[in-house]
Chains A and B, each alone.
Chain A
Amino acid sequence: MRKIWDIPGGIHPPENKHQSLTDGIGTIAMPERLILPLNQHAGAPAKPLVKPGDRVLKGQMIAEPVGFISAALHAPTSGTIDGIADQPVPHPSGMSARCIELVPDGRDEWCDHQGVGDYRAQPPTALLELIRNAGITGLGGAGFPSSVKLGPRQPIDTLVINGTECEPYITADDSLMQARAPEIIEGVNILRHILGNPETVLIGIEDNKPRAFEQLTEAAEGTGIEVVEFPTKYPSGGEKQLIQILTGKEVPSGKLPAELGIVCQNVGTTFAVYNAICRGEPLISRITTVTGQACGRNGNYEVLLGTPISHLLAHNDFDAKACTRLVMGGPMMGFTLLDPAVPVVKTTNCILAGSKAEFPPAPPAQACIRCGLCAEACPASLLPQQLYWYAQSQNHERLEAHNLFDCIECGACAYVCPSRIPLVQYYRAAKGEIRRHDAEQLKADHARQRFEFHKARLEKAEAEKAAKREARRLAAEAAQRKTATSEAPSSGPGSADDLIQAAKARAAAKKASPDEQKAKLERSVEANRNRLKIARDKLAEGRDQGLDSDAMAKLEVKVNEAALKLKTAEEKLASFDDTSPGKGDSTVADDAASRVMDRVTASRREQLETTVASLKKRIASAEQAIGAETADATIAALQSGLEKQRQKLAEAETALAGLGPDGDQKVTDPTTVDAASAAIARAQAKAAARASMTPEQKAREDLHALDQRIAKARDKAQAARAEDSEHAATLESALEKLEEKRRGLIEALGAEPEETVPERPVAESVPAPSAVEPHPVPNDDPAAAAIARAQAKAREMAAMTPEQKRRVELASLDERIAKARSKLDSALAEGSEHVEALQGALEKLENKRRSLAQQDSDGVNPEGGA
């Protein structure tokens, strides 16, 4: 005889097992419809493999496990999938969950299946895989996937088979042990093999099941399996309690029995394992006890999973009026079902339809007198009365200190409570509350982090903005001082110094930026590299998991995208590296300073000319940018920037024109001088940092940049075409534009000065260039030509009265509006995505025109000129 240990506490409720033990295991007629919840186990819900309308065969997998702790689901009979929808499931909440509905065709046609001939020849991992694919979970209570439990990391020296079934009323395991003892023993042998032949194999049975004990003892003869009988006491069937009874060891709090080298399996699960390995049959049915006084007949049945409980009850002459509580599981730990339409699931060991005599309505709970009966009954040696006290006051700290989470919710305390306090409900609620609180705390911490990051980001942005503002302010101050001094006949050294200071400040402000830019670029390269790696990993993972082709294609596209992004980022970094080393920080500053010096010493005319030229260059580059850009938002932004630059150009030109033929002299008209000098100051400030190149060089530079961009755009377009992306068309049109521009530039470089930038509206508004050509500018210098044109135009404008000026402007605006309209029309016709941007631009133009027209009619001169 093996030594038996006792557990603390425990109770002896009336057993009520004989009612359902009269006959053997019965069968139930096929129901009209089977409802198969996707989550009948602990862990993640299974993923359906079938669609409504599919025909499935008996034993066919209809949902596969997702992740490690999950279980498969199989069709319990052949038939048609009717739908996958939310249905009420067996759960204390009475809520719904996703279920597969199967309409049986009555043929009960098996899919191909066969058992493993000799399981001893198979490696344990292969058998575990079979068990996983058979959807076997613990059939005793919690429904933990068996393949997980049978594959522990620790070496196992004891296998415990739980045939205790300590709850009153339930006899499912008892009847199974009586009827199928040899199969159970064979199942135990399989488990032994999987677990690496543990030294001790025990089957624990309470002494109220003498026939089952006899049967198993007989079947186990000569196998080395010990069948152990021990005194009946509730809750000795709990896994932890059974381990204590049979081995005297306690499973450490929060740990698994495997830590002690013990694995515990229910007899029903063992039988299911036998079925899966030796017969190749997945878990599609189980033994369920139907009992209670509200049922005319009591008994055990082999029930297909998914059978509605109402069907089961109808088969047993259920009297709904006599039933006060419908319980799934036993009277101690089972939960009430609100709706009998819910299906039998893998963990349904008993349906208990209790009459009023069995389950009288609970009297109102009285006050706890701390009598301590609960503490005496507790098998975990807790203090239920204290837990109740602290659960009521929601004192989570004390609840934890009183080991609330070691409560197995066996209900022994509430059973003995003379005040009829629903103690278990308090513990469940308190546990739920603590879990929720912990989750919320985690979430709050997460939110705090995010908030702090958010704050830091805003502060950084604010600081950057402030720095920029400061730099601008300094520059503006310097410019103002310059203006003030330039009114004096000779510009003193002070003003020059100021300008130099301002330029230096700006150069210093810029100085930081290349490094920052570089760092940023490097970061982006790094991030893109990571992204590419992740995408590739995912792809590999997907391949391993055998994802369907759609998903794989998507993943591949993602990888390609990531690769493309990385390439662009790397190119950017490379080009940055190429350009930046030439311009050392100090040289930039010095350059700027020397340019400013040049400016200060140069004559006004020269200054203005340079300004105009540089502005023109910027306008040209802005236009190119617009042409190359495909995103609407960016185009809009660039256009507005362009608009501003054009205004500035106009101002500068006016100023230049105002200088008159003898530009080196001081101009007589004070207002013009003011406006001009302000414009000069602004332009100078802007221009100070710009590189001074010969016009031809500039054009070549432009051409070079354009070439690069064309190459890139071609790459992009090709990639887009390859991917069949929707952006392909846009990219191609952008490419075309770039090429057109390039042609224009080449032509300009060649000879045609007026064609420098074909689309430039300003150029269009310039009258015939040859008429007023004061400078002997060589034809092959387009920038100079442009300056000349601008100068001419400026002179013209200067010669005009304000009204005339407005007229000219109005005319040019009209032209642009007309052009924009036609563009918009064509965009609309094409259904292009630029429509919105174009509309915005058109609106702006129209607004401008309106205001101009207004001025015209009012006769107000905003410039305050003559």
Chain B
Amino acid sequence: MIEIITQEPLLAALVAMVGLAVAFGAVLGFAAVKFKVEGDPIVDQIDHILPQTQCGQCGYPGCRPYAEAIANGDEINKCPPGGQATVNALADLLDVPAPELDAEDGDQSDVKKVAYIREAECIGCTKCIQACPVDAILGAAKQMHTVIASECTGCDLCVEPCPVDCIEMRPVPQTISDWQWTIPAPLGERLQGLRSADIIATDRDTGTRAA
């Protein structure tokens, strides 16, 4: 045995290398089967983060298609309804740096909105009903339509098709039951640009500012 190795070093090395490769390959293959991760497919996880407004502002016909597109490498900053928070969550999930939200119009306010049909003006054309991705509009031909506010995702897809322009997006008013304390602005932000002399006068209303 040793003689063969010493006499045929090239062959021995080759055999050793191939042998090792086979052994490690077997180990890796076994590990791949044995320790297979049975997680959510990435598309489901992405879809879970998306806000499900089904608004299509990302250019895909709904949240799931966009989730699939992201899984296939599309940008993660195309979801205006989700806002920067969704972008951040996606970046976190996919372990990439979070880009800025790609908002064409600057009015990505945090205020949640739902569609509202001015019922007196509605002619009952059913166009908005067809446009609604979550079937949140109720009505029949030539009958007045109305939005089920609790089902409305605020995607505003129904605003465009209305021939008499009787649909508007109304902010959901805050009530005493959904009021909540807000997190005070970070210290740096609150002190930003203040001179020492200003602090006591301007910075002590932390609470009211937070409200």
Interface set of A (CB-CB < 8 Å, partner B): 89, 91-97, 336, 361-367, 391-392, 394, 422, 425-426, 428-430, 432-433, 435-436, 440-441, 443-448, 450-455, 632-633, 836
Q: Is the CB of B180 within 8 A of A422?
A: no
Q: Which B residues lie within 8 Å of A392 (CB)? A: 183, 186
Q: Which B residues lie within 8 Å of A362 (CB)? A: 204, 206-207
Closest to B112 in A: A440
Complex Cα distance A297/B191, Å? Answer: 40
Q: Is the CB of A451 within 8 A of B186?
A: no
Complex interface residues of chain B between 127 and 147 (CB less than 8 A to chain A): 132-136, 141-142
Q: Which A residues lie within 8 Å of B75 (CB)? A: none
Q: How far is the CB of A94 from chain B (nearest CB, A)?
A: 8
Q: How far is the CB of B88 from chain A (nearest CB, A)?
A: 9
Q: How far is the CB of A478 from chain B (nearest CB, A)?
A: 34
Contact of A361 among B53, B175, B183, B204 (CB under 8 A): B204
From known contacts A392-B186, A444-B51, infer whether A454 and B133 are also in contact, taking CB-CB under 8 Å: yes
**Told that A361-B200, A447-B52 touch, could you supply 4 new A-B pairs with CB distance under 8 A?**
A422-B184, A436-B178, A448-B47, A454-B134
Q: Is the CB of B191 within 8 A of A453?
A: no
Complex Cα distance A450/B136, Å? Answer: 9
Contact mask B125-167 → A, CB, 8 Å, 1/0? 0000000111110000110000000010100000000000000
Q: Which B residues lie within 8 Å of A429 (CB)? A: 180-183, 210
Q: Is the CB of A95 within 8 A of B183?
A: no
Q: Which B residues lie within 8 Å of A425 (CB)? A: 181, 183-184, 207, 210
Q: Is the CB of A432 within 8 A of B62?
A: no
Interface of A is mostly: helix
**A-B contact number at CB 8 A:** 107
Contact mask B49-90 → A, CB, 8 Å, 1/0? 011111000000011100000000000000000000000000
Complex Cα distance A633/B174, Å? Answer: 41
Q: Which B residues lie within 8 Å of A435 (CB)? A: 180
Q: How far is the CB of B200 from chain A (nearest CB, A)?
A: 7
Closest to A426 in B: B183
From known contacts A425-B181, A454-B134, A455-B62, infer whether A364 and B176 are also in contact, taking CB-CB under 8 Å: no
Q: Which A residues lie within 8 Å of B141 (CB)? A: 633
Closest to B152 in A: A447
Contact of A364 among B52, B134, B199, B210 (CB under 8 A): B199
The 4 closest A-B pairs by CB, nearest first: A432-B180, A444-B52, A93-B179, A364-B203
Complex interface residues of chain B between 173 and 211 (CB less than 8 A to chain A): 174-176, 178-184, 186-187, 190-191, 199-200, 203-204, 206-207, 210-211
Contact of B180 among A436, A440, A445, A450 (CB under 8 A): A436
Closest to A37 in B: B176
Q: Is the CB of A632 within 8 A of B187?
A: no
Contact of A93 among B51, B54, B176, B190 (CB under 8 A): B176
Q: Is the CB of A430 within 8 A of B176?
A: no
A-B contacts, 9 listed (Cβ < 8 Å): A91-B179, A95-B179, A97-B176, A362-B207, A428-B181, A429-B182, A432-B180, A444-B50, A447-B54
Q: How far is the CB of A418 from chain B (nearest CB, A)?
A: 15
Complex Cα distance A433/B136, Å? Answer: 26
Q: Is the CB of B181 within 8 A of A432?
A: yes
Q: Which B residues lie within 8 Å of A440 (CB)? A: 51
Complex Cα distance A367/B51, Å? Answer: 34
Q: Which B residues lie within 8 Å of A455 (CB)? A: 62
From known contacts A426-B184, A429-B180, infer whether A364 and B206 are also in contact, taking CB-CB under 8 Å: yes
Q: Is the CB of A447 within 8 A of B134?
A: yes
Complex Cα distance A298/B204, Å? Answer: 28
Q: How far is the CB of A397 from chain B (nearest CB, A)?
A: 10
Contact of A430 among B178, B183, B187, B190 (CB under 8 A): B183
Complex Cα distance A452/B135, Å? Answer: 10
Q: Which A residues lie within 8 Å of B199 (CB)? A: 364
Q: Is the CB of B207 within 8 A of A450?
A: no
Closest to B135 in A: A454
Complex Cα distance A455/B134, Å? Answer: 9
Q: How far is the CB of A390 from chain B (nearest CB, A)?
A: 11
Q: How far is the CB of A428 from chain B (nearest CB, A)?
A: 4
Q: Is the CB of A363 within 8 A of B204?
A: yes
Closest to B50 in A: A444
Q: Which B residues lie within 8 Å of A391 (CB)? A: 183
Q: Which A residues lie within 8 Å of B64 (CB)? A: 448, 451-452
Contact of B151 among A97, A441, A450, A836 (CB under 8 A): A450
Q: Which B residues lie within 8 Å of A364 (CB)? A: 187, 190-191, 199-200, 203-204, 206
Q: Which A residues lie within 8 Å of B203 (CB)? A: 364
Complex Cα distance A425/B206, Å? Answer: 10
Q: Which B residues lie within 8 Å of A94 (CB)? A: 211
Q: Which A residues lie within 8 Å of B190 (CB)? A: 364
Complex Cα distance A413/B178, Å? Answer: 26
Q: How far is the CB of A387 from chain B (nearest CB, A)?
A: 12
**Most central of B47, B135, B181, B191 by chain A CB within 10 Å:** B181
Q: Is the CB of B63 within 8 A of A451?
A: yes
Q: How far is the CB of A440 from chain B (nearest CB, A)?
A: 8
Complex Cα distance A94/B63, Å? Answer: 38
Q: Which A residues lie within 8 Å of B63 (CB)? A: 448, 451
Q: Is the CB of B206 within 8 A of A365?
A: yes
Complex Cα distance A834/B142, Å? Answer: 13
Q: How far is the CB of A736 from chain B (nearest CB, A)?
A: 26
Q: Is the CB of A451 within 8 A of B176?
A: no
Complex Cα distance A97/B183, Å? Answer: 24
Q: Is the CB of B53 within 8 A of A447?
A: yes
Q: Is the CB of B187 within 8 A of A365?
A: yes
From known contacts A451-B62, A453-B135, A455-B62, infer whether A363 and B200 are also in contact, taking CB-CB under 8 Å: yes
Complex Cα distance A422/B172, Å? Answer: 29
**Most central of B132, B134, B151, B191 by chain A CB within 10 Å:** B134
Complex Cα distance A264/B191, Å? Answer: 46
Q: Is the CB of B207 within 8 A of A91?
A: no
Contact mask B22-59 → A, CB, 8 Å, 1/0? 00000000000000000000000001101111100000
**Most central of B47, B53, B63, B206 by chain A CB within 10 Å:** B206
Complex Cα distance A330/B164, Å? Answer: 56
Closest to B210 in A: A425
Complex interface residues of chain B between 114 and 128 (CB less than 8 A to chain A): none
Q: Which A residues lie within 8 Å of B184 (CB)? A: 365, 422, 425-426
Q: Which B residues lie within 8 Å of A95 (CB)? A: 174-176, 179
Complex Cα distance A362/B134, Å? Answer: 48
From known contacts A364-B204, A447-B54, A450-B134, infer whether A428 and B180 are also in contact, taking CB-CB under 8 Å: yes
Q: Which B residues lie within 8 Å of A436 (CB)? A: 178, 180
Complex Cα distance A435/B179, Å? Answer: 12
Q: How far is the CB of B191 from chain A (nearest CB, A)?
A: 7
Complex Cα distance A743/B50, Å? Answer: 65
Q: How far is the CB of B197 from chain A (nearest CB, A)?
A: 13
Q: Which A residues lie within 8 Å of B136 (CB)? A: 450
Contact of A447 among B153, B183, B187, B191 (CB under 8 A): B153
**Most central of A96, A336, A432, A445 by chain B CB within 10 Å:** A432
Complex Cα distance A173/B136, Å? Answer: 52
Complex Cα distance A861/B210, Å? Answer: 80
Q: How far is the CB of B139 from chain A (nearest CB, A)?
A: 13
Closest to B142 in A: A633
Q: Is the CB of A451 within 8 A of B134?
A: yes
Closest to A453 in B: B135
Contact of A632 among B53, B134, B142 (CB under 8 A): B142
Closest to A86 in B: B176
**Most central of A362, A443, A447 by chain B CB within 10 Å:** A447
Q: Which B residues lie within 8 Å of A367 (CB)? A: 187
Q: Which B residues lie within 8 Å of A441 (CB)? A: 48
Complex Cα distance A141/B133, Å? Answer: 45
Complex Cα distance A392/B178, Å? Answer: 21
Q: Which A residues lie within 8 Å of B62 (CB)? A: 451, 455
Complex Cα distance A200/B206, Å? Answer: 47
Complex Cα distance A403/B35, Å? Answer: 31
Q: How far is the CB of A345 from chain B (nearest CB, A)?
A: 13
Closest to B132 in A: A454
Q: Is the CB of B52 within 8 A of A451?
A: yes
